[in-house]
Structure 1
Amino acid sequence: MFRPLSLFVGLRYTAAKRGNHFISFISLVSILGLMLGVAALILVLSVMNGFDRELRQRILGMVPHATLSGYGDQGLSDWRELRKGVLDGRGVQGAAPYIQAQGMLTSRGRVQGGLVNGIDPVFEPEVSILERHMDIGQLSDLQAGEYRIVLGELLARFLGVSVGDKVTLVLPEASISVAGVVPRLKRFEVSGIFSVGAELDANLAYIHIDDAARIKRMTPGSVDGLRLKFADLFDAPRLAREVAAAQSSSLYVSDWTRTHGNLFQAIQMEKRMIALLLLLIVFVAAFNIVSTLVMVVTDKQSDIAILRTMGATPGAILRVFMVQGILIGLIGTGLGVALGITLALTVTDLVAWVERALGIQFLSADVYFISYLPSELVWSDVAMITAAAFVISFVATLYPAWRASRTQPAEALRYE
């Protein structure tokens, strides 16, 4: 006979066609519930990991990890020497000068507010992924004195412009002329369009740093500050202050946690809360396993009594029903892991296909910080979910199996 006995009998009970079809139905529901719970957990955590990745690579790839600037309206006139010193700092991968201005861009009667960054095309690739996401044109097209501008894809679409068209930048500063007080205006030619698939496409524009200095009437050679990139963005707040302290005490330090830290923390909080909520589905499936095994124990009272009279110990009976419950848990968890991994790897393309088929967009870049559904499968999450689901299903088998082991043969066979 197949040994061990508990495994043999447990597998026979699980595989045999029962006369009570309701128990078989509850077993199937238990497996499906566990499968859906595990698959949903893997899928949702993969999507949240995708949002986390996009935030790091795209949003934090376009905004600086940290900035060094003068206090108030003071600029940095010796930024080249400061840059050399900063690059020697621990963890610093790049540094680039910038001049920043808030303004309105107008074209063909349309007006849109935006943040205009004056950059040096030579140094900017050290701190930004902008060059890798140029749809049309190149950063090198920004030449001093040419008054050219690079727009985000959504911003260009709203203004109805493309490469070669003209846009007017209106700064919130007044100039006094013979006509009176008028806003400061400057006309630019669109030389490029970038797209990072995020909200930044709708409110960012780039011009040459020398052109920005002229329209802001800054001292020649001065900049607002330096943008820094670090090897580890989570070390940026601490390392930026160390770098600034080593260079000068008159530098104002800012970092990404002040500008986008709340968004990053919100994603982490949502990931934990959603995982906790979805874990309740697994608990519900575990309760189904409990109810299934309790009904099986009730249905098999006479079989248990016969096994006891033939010499089976209470421990052997306990293991018989634990085998049955664990098998349900293994099947449900295994199917859930397979389904969850499949969905996590294909959900981005699947959602994109549905959007094309229905002609709708689930994630609009005007509302969300990215315009598509990202997904990143993290195998440590899969292992954690698999282990948690198996432990929960194993614990669910303990009470029904213990109850079966307590069956008294005389009581069970009294009315047989």
Structure 2
Amino acid sequence: MFHFMRFFARAGAAAAGKGAGSGAAPFGAYERMLALRYMRSRRSRWLPSAIAGLSVTGITVGVMALIVVMSVMNGMRDEMISKLIGVNGHIFVQPIDTPLTDYRDVTEELKQVKGITFAFPLIESAAGISSPQQQSGALVRGVTEADLKRLPGVEGNVRQGTLDHFEGDSGLVIGEKLAETLGVQVGDKVSILTARGAQTPFGVTPRLKAYPVKAIYESGLYDFDQLMVFMPLSEAQLFFNRPGEATLIEAFVAHPDDMNAVRERIVQAITRPVMLTDWRQRSKTFFDVLKVESDSIFLILSIIVLVASLLIVQGLILLVKDKGRDIAILRTMGATRGSILRVFILTGLSIGATGALLGAALGVPLALQLDNIRSFLNRIFDLNLFPSSVYHLSQLPSSLDPHEVAAIALLTLGLSFLATLYPAWRAARLDPVEALRHE
């Protein structure tokens, strides 16, 4: 305490030299010194210091968990977007009023739009698909061989067969899950059934035709692998009675998150009436669920930080009681209520800042090396964490967002600040006469 008194006396004398009525600057040197000493205080009781240590530990664990889990959620979202729009595209152009018989011209107009990386026409129609063993529903998409080979969800993901001579052989390319359902392999024949068949005097009759399985792909998304069937564009036009036309044009863009600007440029570039939809609208429910899940996890893990902040409240209340005599002496030497208030606010913020820094220092490297850690644990302990056969992902995705790390740190500091207000207020209200009466 002698050191506090001597330091405070020097600070007061220096402040007095600046003129009457001027006091020590808020959050000045002696306030910071007292806050740091109180943070690691071990004078007569070990409990306040132990609670401060538990608070730092709890905040560290909470911040680390938040950073790692949110990085995994971001990685999963990016992975799902890349797979989902890898098969479906980013933006879809459909005709209005008249059939899309000028799809070649519209496709060329799309390719000239800034931000568009790939555009292709297709026929899309629901149909039934069957084999001698089983039957199922399918979404048949008629595309050219050149476009199919550039489709991200199919390119590089062919598990059986080949895409070469796709149009010449008039075969089908189906998903791996659909092939398992139908019990077929490359070379086997499957039948496609559509209600939009031949026009007869008695109306439109269903059409059924058998096609060989040319290739089997695996996109990594169960719904697509179970549903999507690719057919040559020319064959699809004949089979679905759409000669010389396409049902829609799909396009991929360089930056999927910046769709509004691309949509405006497309509206200006295309001369015929069209309806535009993009991946956000087609997959809105799916990504809304992901966002709700991410927000819920963030809220749940934030409770760890909140509990640690409540420990700050308890620790500071005990510290105020433990340092009552010191506070009274400081008040008699000229320390203001505001000065005492700031000392204890700084003490609590020091605990919160220490926990936030340690949590970030542990969480950021852990998030960046998460898949390597998973592989190490699998190898050392013969585990099978996050198996690719179940999740259809070759590695554990993790995408660290610096803005989220900053937001987590600010949240931690904000909760720590709120936790200090009541104990600091109690310390500032301490009556020095009452505190020293029994000394």
Q: TM-score range by the shorter chain?
A: 0.7 to 0.9
Equivalent-residue separation in structure 1 for 2:182 and 2:387 (angstroms): 21
1:324 is aligned, of 338, 347, 356, to 347
Displacement of 1:401 in angstroms is 2.6
Map residues 109-258 of structure 1 onto 2, 5 A cutoff: 109-124=133-148, 128-136=152-160, 138-139=162-163, 141-162=164-185, 164-173=186-195, 184-197=208-221, 199-219=223-243, 221-234=244-257, 236=259, 239-240=262-263, 243=266, 247-258=270-281
Counterpart selection for 1:296 from 315, 319, 339: 319
Report the counterpart of residue 111 of structure 2 in structure 1: 87
Q: 1:67 aligns with which of 92, 95, 103?
A: 92
Aligned pair partner of 2:68 in 33, 37, 43: 43
Give the match for residue 357 of structure 1: 383
What letter is aligned with 1:34?
I
Distance 2:270 2:32 in 1: 71
Q: Distance in 2 between matches of 1:236 and 1:387?
A: 30
Whole-Å Cα distance in 2 between the matches of residues 351 and 108 of structure 1?
A: 43
- The amino acid across from 2:281 in the alignment is R
CA drift at 1:21: 4.0
| Superimposed CA distance per residue, residues 138-170 of structure 1 (whole angstroms, 9 cap, x where no aligned partner) | 54x2422313332323333444444x3414032
Map residues 382-401 of structure 1 onto 2, 5 A cutoff.
382-401=405-424
Indicate whether 1:7 and 2:32 are aligned: yes
Is residue 95–residue 275 contact of structure 2 (8 Å, CA) maintained in 1?
yes
One of 28, 53, 56 as aligned partner of 1:31: 56
Distance 1:370 1:198 in 2: 12
Change (3 A) 1:305 1:244: closer
Mapped partners of 1:348, 1:154: distance in 2: 27
Q: d(CA) in 2 for partners of 1:383 and 1:234?
A: 22
Q: Distance in 1 between matches of 2:394 and 2:188?
A: 27
Q: Distance in 1 between matches of 2:192 and 2:68?
A: 46
- Residue 357 of structure 1 aligns to a residue whose secondary structure is coil
Task: Report deviation, 1:289.
Answer: 0.8
Quote how far apart the aligned CAs of 1:63 are. 0.8
Q: Matches of 1:327 and 1:224 in 2, distance apart?
A: 63
Could you say which residue in structure 1 is the equivalent of 2:290? 267
Partners of 2:47 and 2:262 in 1: CA distance: 64
- Asked if 1 retains the 8 angstrom alpha-carbon contact of 2:84 and 2:221, the reply is no
Work out whether residues 121 and 143 of structure 2, in 8 Å CA contact, stay in contact via their aligned partners in 1. Answer: yes
CA distance in 2 between counterparts of 1:238 and 1:313 reads 57
Amino acid across the alignment from 1:228: A
Using the TM superposition, give the Cα deviation of residue 286 of structure 1 relative to its aligned residue in structure 2, in angstroms: 2.0
Match of 1:283 in 2: 306
RMSD of aligned residue pairs (Cα, Å): 3.7
Aligned to 2:294, what secondary structure does the other structure show? helix
Q: Which amino acid in 1 is paired with 2:52?
A: S
How far did 1:412 drift? 1.0
State the 1:49 CA deviation: 1.8
What is the deviation of 1:252? 4.3
**8 Å Cα contact 1:301-1:407 kept in structure 2:** yes
Q: Unaligned regions of 5+ residues in structure 1, if any?
A: none
Q: Say if 1:97 and 1:227, in contact at 8 Å, map to a contact too.
A: yes
- TM-score, scaled to structure 2: 0.77
1:120 positional shift? 1.4
Structure having the higher Rg: 2
3-state SS, counterpart of residue 213 of structure 1: helix
Does the aligned pair in 2 maintain the 1:156–1:193 contact within 8 Å? no
Query: What's the secondary structure of 1:218's corresponding residue?
Result: coil
3-state SS, counterpart of residue 26 of structure 1: helix
Do structure 1's residue 334 and structure 2's residue 357 form an aligned pair?
yes
The secondary structure found in structure 1 opposite 2:146 is: coil
Sequence identity, in percent? 32
> C-alpha displacement at 1:197, in angstroms?
4.6
